[in-house]
Structures are given as structure tokens and as C-alpha cells.
């Protein structure tokens, strides 16, 4: 069944119950508005602190948008891009696209003008839905983007090169469109993070979307009385498919704009959130604020909060040990996945396996896993190899890129590019990205292992280990270290601490600097390699 059926079901069974809440903590006005009240004001002049939408209104909004698209000639298989920050309109628009049989194509809100154009042309997008913040970026290439495409603007003061969302949907039917959708129909295109150049377009069937939704609900036992707090961007598979556990359960979710520790805890307290998905930096910030005394747990109502889970990047075991000191009653889970596997959960730790913190876990619901060598043969338990996954959430292909598809899809198995090992109990531990492995003096060095060790130093907030070119060794390890607020450290201190590592794993270069992470919390290692590799090259040239 397509995930749109869950929305229809919820609208019938729980029509007047709240489906989504949008929180804007930076706004001074504390008015709480329903969707209908909000439509009577001008969004560009006033952004209320809190908006909410019921399941029936959610479904009606999706149906109106779907019927508008159909009236404009959009048909099954066409592609509709969405370029907006998280907001109450985002998911009704996404589901409206799915209800037409068209393919939803979420765009990363960090794309610049050229990346937007590139992705629109790569995915052969027919419609682009965008909001106020992106007018300037679309305007740069408006002539090319408008050629054969419908541009729909969500907001007031519609630019001349687009049409107004509010005017287009005003008179459209709120009834479900008569379009048959099957599991085998294409449902979405997501983009890779573009760490090796421009992004690749990842094509998924509706089967993938339903699999991810059902798996999330099962993994985290999401029930009718749960409330999920969603902070990461909805364009990403992680946020959307974690939210879809609430869709399957028919329970409330909160879209929070803001990542400050006090903002997060206040949202959890005010909205009575029970499930919270955090990225590593946000969890670290909360713990650091608690350590400093900037936050006091007694100021918030948190007794209902039952589960904190993390994904999107390797999770330091030391972080979870610190977390459990402050939140001993919390269940915890780690979720591993890729956009090519419809996001998180193809491997997950499981709430019952906190004794295995450090592992990414075991195969998720309906998934299989293998760890293979360069020839594709299974390695022995305890040996490092490439993690491969297989299940109903594997992508169909990289759209219009058969060569790249053939590199990662082999006999139904998705080769993840992640190096991993499996222990004697069957738990999988992520070692590093294949392309991030450092080969120094003939030794394979896995940066994640060094990063986990350095994070144990109490002054370290964040760390990234990369390889830099070295004439004698081929590559040398460099540790970029971000020190906690209010602390200072020296190279000598770090070097002394790292004596606990085998000699060949000790960083040969220490750089104190902020750690750049993308919108989904992943360390931007290509950026670091480019930045510091180029700097060292200039230094060597100046010396010579």
C-alpha cells in the first residue's frame, strides 16, 4: 500500500486530532493559531510562534494541491521539486505530489542557484514549488528554469516568474483524486549529499516509502500517544521517514525551527514530546550546556520523554554514556542508513541493545546485511570489509546514470561504501567511509576510531580526522579539533592524550578549528581535505 493510504486513514479515524505542529521559537509573539486562523493573516508580515494542523485539514490540503497539479497537466511519472525550509505546508505539498502519481523531488535548501538548476535538469523536473527564502536563488536562472516548467511560489508577494500557490489551490477540490497508485510506481527522487561533486538523483518506488514508514513505527514502537519531535530538514530522508512512524501510528509530530539546547528542551516540555531524534552536535550541545549549568532539567517537564535516538553519522560511545548519566531512564537507538536505502533503519541498534553502544546494530526490519572484500566475497567475522544491504527499501537506480548505478547495485545488493566489521554476537560496527580510509606507510587507518578516542578528552567538543598528502608516507593523519566553549588546549596536551593510541594511529598534525557539518549533521570531510590540503600545499611552496 502507498503511504498516502495512511494519510487517508488518519483523516477518517482521527479527523480532529492534531497531526502536525510548527514551532518558531525565535518569534516573540506567543499566539497559537490553527491553520484556518493563520490563512486570515499575511505570512510574510507575521510568523506566529506556533501553528498546528489536524489530520483532516492535512489531508484536505494535500488533496487540493494534488487536484491543482492534475488540472495543470501533471501526470503519473512527472517530477515535482520542493524547495522550502521546514514548515506546516511542506508535508501536505509532498503528499499532494504523491497523490497525483507524480514523483516528489525534495531539494536541499542549501543548494545555490547553479545546484538548483543542475538538479532540476538532472531529475527532469516538471514543477518547482519554492518559498520566499529562495526567490533570489531561482531568479538567477529563472529564464532556464521557467522553460517548460511550472514554478509555484508559497508565500505572499509572488515573483513575476512564478505563480501563487495560494491562488492556485483556492478553488480546488478537497476530495482525494482518482489516481491509482501501486507499490511499483515511482514515488520519489532524493539527492546524494554530493561529497564527490554534484549530487546524484536517487530514484525510489512507493514500495520503498512504505517500507521506511512501517519500519520506523516498528523499530521505535511508535504508538497513538507518542509525540515525535522533528528538527532536521524534511528534504532529507532521515527526518521524513522518522516522521512517518507517526504517520503510521496516527500520532502527533512537532516541527521545530531551532537547535539551541534550551529551545529543544522547551519544545519537548511544552509539547509533551516522547520521541526525539537528535544529531550528534545537538546532543553534545545539550550535554555541554548541562555540564556548564546553563540548563537545569528541573526547569522542564521531561518525564514523558521515553526515547532519544541518533543517526546520520557515527555516534561516539562516550556521548551516549554521558547522555545516560543525565537521562538514565531513556531508551536509546542508533539508526544507520543512506538515501539509497530510503534513509535510516536498514541497520539499527535496537532499543533493547544499549549494552552494545558503539555498534550501528543488526539488520533492520525486512533487511539483510553482508560485509564483503574487494572481490565481493564475505569476510570472516571480526574482519573489516564493505557493508552491503538488501531489502525492499533499496533504490531503483541513480536516475539517468547507469554507470554509477552499476557500481553500487549488484545482484540486488547495495554496496554502501562504508567499511564495517561484525562481532561474535552479530552486531555490526561502522569503521569508516571507504573513501575516508587513510593509507599511511602501507597501513590502513580508520579515522572514526581515532575520532572516538580523541572525543574522550574532556576539553574536546568535536573532532574530524582526515588524511593529508605526505611525500614519505603517502598520507598522514591530521586531527581537526574543536574545543569546548570556555576551554583552552594545546597541541602538547592532545599529543600526550593520544599516547593511548597505537603509534601509527596517532595524529601527525593537530589543527584547532571549528568542525563544519552539513544540514544532516555529517562532518564535511571533503571540504576539510580541500581546505587544509590546499593550505599545506601553499605553505610548502612558500618554504621552497
What CA–CA distance (Å, rounded) separates 196 from 199? 8
- In this chain, the answer to whether the domains covering 342-436 and 439-543 adopt an identical fold is no
Q: Is 159 helix (H, G, I), strand (E, B) or coil?
A: coil
What CA–CA distance (Å, rounded) separates 83 from 119? 12
Place 505 in a pLDDT band, splitting at 50, 70 and 90: confident
CA nearest neighbour of 86 among 210, 201, 249, 242: 242
The 8 Å CB, 24+ separation contacts for 374-382 are: 376/410, 379/421, 381/421, 381/422, 381/423, 381/424, 382/421, 382/422, 382/423, 382/424
Mean pLDDT, the chain, as a whole number? 89
Q: Are 209 and 1 in contact (CB under 8 A)?
A: no
- Nearby residues of 114 by Cβ (< 8 Å), 6 or more positions away: 141
What CA–CA distance (Å, rounded) separates 516 from 464? 9
Look at the block and give the residue holding cell 482521527.
14
476: its cell numbers: 598522514
Considering the chain, what percentage of its residues have pLDDT values greater than 90? 71
What CA–CA distance (Å, rounded) separates 309 from 399? 31
Place 9 in a pLDDT band, splitting at 50, 70 and 90: very high
User: What are the residue boundaries of the structural domains of the chain, listed by start?
Assistant: 4-230, 342-436, 439-543
Q: Count Cα atoms within 13 angstroms, Cβ side, for 536.
A: 17
CA nearest neighbour of 47 among 86, 20, 81: 86
Place 435 in a pLDDT band, splitting at 50, 70 and 90: confident
pLDDT at 472: 63
What CA–CA distance (Å, rounded) separates 52 from 38? 9
* DSSP collapsed to 3 states, 300-331: CCCCCCCEEEEECCCCCHHHHHHHHHHCCCCE
Q: Is the pLDDT of residue 312 over 70?
A: no
Q: Are 244 and 10 in contact (CB under 8 A)?
A: no
18-53 residue pLDDT tens: 999 999 986 644 445 454 454 444 444 445 689 999
Kindly write down the DSSP assignment for every residue of 163-213, as one continuous string. EEHHHHHTTS--SPP-----TTSEEEEEE---TTSSPPEEEEEHHHHHHHH
- The domain made up of 4-230 has a fold known as Rossmann fold (3.40.50)
| Residues forming beta bridges with residue 150, ordered by sequence position | 127
Chosen CATH of 439-543 out of 3.10.450.40, 3.40.225.10, 3.30.300.30, 3.40.50.12780: 3.30.300.30
What CA–CA distance (Å, rounded) separates 208 from 190? 12
What CA–CA distance (Å, rounded) separates 182 from 47? 38
- Nearby residues of 78 by Cβ (< 8 Å), 6 or more positions away: 100, 102, 103, 126, 127
pLDDT at 391: 97
What CA–CA distance (Å, rounded) separates 3 from 98? 9
- Other Cβ atoms closer than 10 A to 184: 10
Q: Is 388 helix (H, G, I), strand (E, B) or coil?
A: strand
* Mean pLDDT (whole number) for 231-245: 93
- Nearby residues of 107 by Cβ (< 8 Å), 6 or more positions away: 81, 82, 83, 116, 119, 128, 191, 235
pLDDT at 44: 45
* Mean pLDDT (whole number) for 383-394: 96
pLDDT at 106: 97
Which of 41-50, 66-75, 414-423: highest mean pLDDT?
Answer: 66-75
Q: Is the pLDDT of residue 249 over 70?
A: yes
* Mean pLDDT (whole number) for 4-26: 95
Q: Which CATH architecture has domain 342-436?
A: Roll (2.30)
Total number of residues shown for the chain:
544
332-362 residue pLDDT tens: 999 999 999 998 899 999 999 999 988 999 9
Kindly write down the DSSP assignment for every residue of 477-543, as one continuous string. EEEEEEEPTT----HHHHHHHGGGS-GGGS-SEEEE----B-TTS-B-HHHHHHHHHHHHHHHHHHH
Please give the span between the terminal C-alpha atoms of the chain, in angstroms, as a whole number. 66
Q: Are 478 and 507 in contact (CB under 8 A)?
A: yes
Place 417 in a pLDDT band, splitting at 50, 70 and 90: confident
What CA–CA distance (Å, rounded) separates 543 from 531? 19
- Nearby residues of 527 by Cβ (< 8 Å), 6 or more positions away: 516
428: its cell numbers: 555490526
Q: For residue 515, which phi and psi values (nearest 5 degrees)? A: -100, 115
Q: Is the pLDDT of residue 444 over 50?
A: yes
The residue that leads in pLDDT, 397 or 39, is 397
CA nearest neighbour of 249 among 214, 212, 219: 214
* Mean pLDDT (whole number) for 368-384: 95
Instruction: For residue 132, count CB atoms less than 10 angstroms from its CB and return exposed for 0-12, middle for 13-18, buried for 19 or more.
Output: middle
What CA–CA distance (Å, rounded) separates 471 from 91? 52
CA nearest neighbour of 475 among 510, 516, 437, 512: 437
116-160 residue pLDDT tens: 999 999 999 999 999 999 999 999 999 999 999 999 999 999 999
Beta strands in 37-158 (DSSP E): 50-54, 79-83, 103-106, 127-131, 150-154
The residue that leads in pLDDT, 537 or 402, is 402
Rg (CA), the chain: 24
Amino acid at each position: 500500500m502507498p503511504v498516502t493510504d495512511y494519510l487517508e486513514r488518519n483523516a477518517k479515524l482521527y479527523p480532529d486530532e492534531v497531526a502536525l505542529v510548527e514551532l518558531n521559537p525565535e518569534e516573540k509573539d506567543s499566539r497559537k493559531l490553527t491553520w484556518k486562523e493563520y490563512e486570515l493573516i499575511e505570512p510574510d508580515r507575521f510568523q506566529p510562534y506556533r501553528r498546528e494542523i489536524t489530520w483532516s485539514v492535512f489531508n484536505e490540503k494535500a488533496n487540493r494541491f494534488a487536484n491543482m497539479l492534475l488540472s495543470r497537466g501533471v501526470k503519473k511519472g512527472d517530477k515535482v521539486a520542493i524547495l522550502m525550509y521546514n514548515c506546516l505546508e511542506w508535508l501536505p505539498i509532498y503528499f499532494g505530489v504523491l497523490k497525483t502519481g507524480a514523483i516528489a523531488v525534495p531539494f536541499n535548501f542549501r543548494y545555490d542557484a547553479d545546484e538548483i538548476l543542475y538538479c532540476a535538469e538532472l531529475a527532469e523536473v516538471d514543477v518547482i514549488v519554492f518559498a520566499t527564502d529562495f526567490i533570489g536563488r531561482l531568479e538567477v536562472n529563472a529564464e532556464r528554469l521557467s522553460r517548460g516548467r511550472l514554478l509555484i511560489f508559497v508565500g505572499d508577494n509572488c515573483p513575476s516568474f512564478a505563480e501563487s500557490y495560494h491562488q492556485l489551490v483556492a478553488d480546488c477540490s478537497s476530495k482525494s483524486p482518482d489516481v491509482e497508485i501501486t507499490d511499483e510506481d515511482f514515488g520519489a527522487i532524493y539527492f546524494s549529499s554530493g561529497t564527490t561533486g554534484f549530487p546524484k538523483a536517487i530514484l525510489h518506488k512507493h514500495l520503498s516509502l512504505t517500507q521506511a514508514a512501517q519500519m520506523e513505527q516498528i523499530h521505535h514502537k511508535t504508538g497513538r500517544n507518542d509525540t515525535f519531535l522533528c528538527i532536521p530538514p524534511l528534504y532529507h530522508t532521515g527526518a521524513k521517514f522518522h516522521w512517518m512512524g507517526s504517520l503510521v501510528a496516527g500520532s502527533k509530530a512537532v516541527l521545530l525551527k531551532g537547535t539551541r539546547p534550551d529551545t529543544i528542551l522547551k519544545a519537548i516540555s511544552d509539547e509533551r514530546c516522547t520521541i526525539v531524534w537528535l544529531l550528534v552536535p545537538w546532543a553534545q550541545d545539550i550535554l555541554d550546556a548541562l555540564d556548564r549549568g546553563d540548563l537545569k532539567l528541573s526547569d522542564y517537564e521531561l518525564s514523558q520523554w521515553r526515547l532519544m535516538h541518533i543517526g546520520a553519522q557515527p555516534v561516539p560511545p562516550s556521548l551516549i554514556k554521558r547522555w545516560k548519566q543525565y537521562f538514565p531512564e531513556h531508551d536509546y537507538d542508533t539508526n544507520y542508513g543512506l538515501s539509497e536505502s530510503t534513509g535510516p533503519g536498514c541497520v539499527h541498534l535496537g532499543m533493547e541493545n544499549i549494552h552494545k553502544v558503539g555498534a550501528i546494530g543488526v539488520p533492520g526490519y525486512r533487511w539483510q546485511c553482508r560485509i564483503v572484500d574487494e572481490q565481493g566475497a564475505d569476510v570472516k567475522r571480526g574482519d573489516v570489509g564493505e557493508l552491503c544491504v538488501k531489502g525492499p527499501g533499496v533504490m531503483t537506480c541513480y536516475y539517468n546514470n547507469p554507470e554509477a548505478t552499476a557500481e553500487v547495485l549488484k545482484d540486488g545488493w547495495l554496496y554502501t561504501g562504508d567499511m564495517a566489521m561484525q562481532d561474535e554476537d552479530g552486531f555490526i560496527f561502522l569503521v569508516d567511509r571507504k573513501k575516508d580510509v587513510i593509507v599511511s606507510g602501507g597501513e590502513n587507518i580508520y579515522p572514526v576510531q581515532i575520532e572516538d578516542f580523541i572525543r574522550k578528552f574532556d576539553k574536546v567538543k568535536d573532532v574530524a580526522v582526515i588524511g593529508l598528502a605526505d611525500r614519505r608516507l603517502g598520507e598522514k593523519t591530521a586531527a581537526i579539533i574543536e574545543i569546548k566553549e570556555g576551554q583552552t588546549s594545546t597541541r602538547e596536551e592532545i599529543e600526550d592524550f593520544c599516547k593511548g593510541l597505537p603509534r601509527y594511529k596517532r595524529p601527525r598534525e593537530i589543527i584547532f578549528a571549528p568542525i563544519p557539518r552539513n544540514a544532516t549533521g555529517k562532518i564535511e570531510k571533503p571540504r576539510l581535505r580541500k581546505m587544509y590540503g590546499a593550505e599545506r600545499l601553499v605553505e610548502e611552496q612558500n618554504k621552497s
